Chains A and B, each alone.
Chain A
């Protein structure tokens, strides 16, 4: 008879690496639509940077903030790409896991814990965001919009911005037992306004005061401002930069705590 100690020891590897096994499963699933992922990863930045750099930039010949319009907009576009990918990978795959194919219940029938499923989903989002941002970065460098030396800090801030969006969305989606349009509403009324009102294309100060709160509450604005500091040295007090990081970290930590609780509640009935 297998002893109790042997059984506990047998689960030790999963106890340590369970989150990665979940990520591995999700990445394996992504291979099924890898072509569209690759095409959008390259296509999106090319289209945006070409349209803005060659088109819209001609209307702003003086640039913004002491740099060209393309240099101003490129770091924010990179962060908004991180947010878009984070939202995409944090909503429908979670709905699928709980509702459509119920794969999370299958995962949880193994030594994998609810927390490790959250960890694996987050790791998958982060890997996809890092890959997408790396491609985006390469193209911005080719357009002369970002210095090549800022690669690592830009990927780090994109990852933090991604976590600040992904974790709350994973937590929210996990609370849904049915999608009766809530996810589409999030896309239209949270992600899209965030993109438009987070100083992606113009400084937040250009907006009327009564709309600026959208930017302050938006992880994308905090990510974009930090990315601008890192990319072309945007002038900003140190405490503001620290505040951006703290806000992004708070979104991520609160999201992680809530996501963990909701996953435990849904999977441990």
Chain B
């Protein structure tokens, strides 16, 4: 196996009495797409900041591209691309100027930044907006511009903190497509998300994080196989009746979760389970059979939903 580009061993980050990141360990191989999946406040962004060499860890070992971010921050950052949760683009500059100015921070010449900016505007599908103001751009366009900006230095590792939060479905899919292309080109991606579909789409491997701790690690398929069943039956009886019906049908599934608005029955044969529910005379108001997702893994591991 090739040398990992990120190695975290028992990393902790404490703010006063609050433990934001509690003893986490993971490794990321070159070219791998690695995700940190967890709800808001799980410690994902703090981990990202430590990897991005802008936040010092309280204890543990962290190694990025062979260097310690606590002592070699600027050198590490020279090889990273960072897409933060909030687009911190410069609204006083035009679209292309944002790329030109940012490229200079890496010591690139004026000629180099000009060439690279034009390539990346094409990649980000923003070439026709090169002279536009940043402020009126749509959320999706701003995100694509931020990704283009993060690629100016041709980074070894691209860090993406909640890359599609706040975007509409179409904008998300465009962005996923761009990220998928980067993945195909061999760029190492490290991303945080609380969207399970995003993690499934983009991550080769991921860790599920909650309250600063790693709950599970593996590929999306492995995690689903380990922590959930093949299928899930969702039935709704009305918010005041779900809890009442759940004990009457729970024996039909391997596991049951009662949420405020629905009951989830974990089973390997969803349609057959749904038929049995009807045979018993418990006809739901609405029903759905779907395959298990990382959302179910998270629910199993923490007893809570990812998006709260």
Contact = CB atoms under 8 A, between A and B. Distances in A.
B75 interface: yes
Contacts, number: 112
A28 B76 contact: no
Which residue, B73, B77, B80, has most C-beta atoms of chain A within 10 A? B77
A106 B89 contact: yes
Nearest to B101: A25
Contact of B54 (A24, A28, A29, A108): A108
Contacts of B92: 29, 32, 101
A7 B66 contact: yes
A269 B75 contact: no
Interface bin, chain A: 35 or more
A25 B152 CA distance: 15
A151 interface: no
A35 to B, nearest CB: 14
Interface stretch (A15-23, A75-83, A139-147): A15-23
Which residue, B49, B80, B92, has most C-beta atoms of chain A within 10 A? B92
Interface in A93-116: 101-103, 105-113
B72 A8 contact: yes
B86 A110 contact: no
Contacts of A21: 101, 104-105, 107
B79 to A, nearest CB: 6
Nearest to B64: A7
A267 B54 contact: yes
A135 B228 CA distance: 73
**Dominant secondary structure at the A interface:** helix
A152 interface: no
Contacts of B286: none
Contact of B78 (A11, A107, A269): A11
B91 interface: yes
A111 B97 contact: no
B65 A10 contact: no
B213 interface: no
Nearest to A105: B88
B79 A14 contact: no
A101 B90 CA distance: 7
B232 interface: no
A209 interface: no
Contacts of B102: 106, 110
Nearest to A267: B54
Contacts of B77: 11, 109-111
Nearest to A27: B101
Given A2-B79, A268-B55, A7 B91 contact: no
B66 A28 contact: no
Contacts of B43: none
Interface of A: 1-4, 7-8, 10-15, 17-18, 21-22, 24-25, 28-29, 32, 101-103, 105-113, 267-269
16 contacts: A1-B3, A1-B30, A2-B65, A7-B76, A10-B79, A11-B77, A14-B74, A25-B105, A32-B92, A109-B77, A109-B82, A110-B77, A110-B78, A110-B153, A111-B105, A269-B49
The 5 closest A-B pairs by CB, nearest first: A13-B107, A29-B92, A110-B105, A109-B82, A11-B78
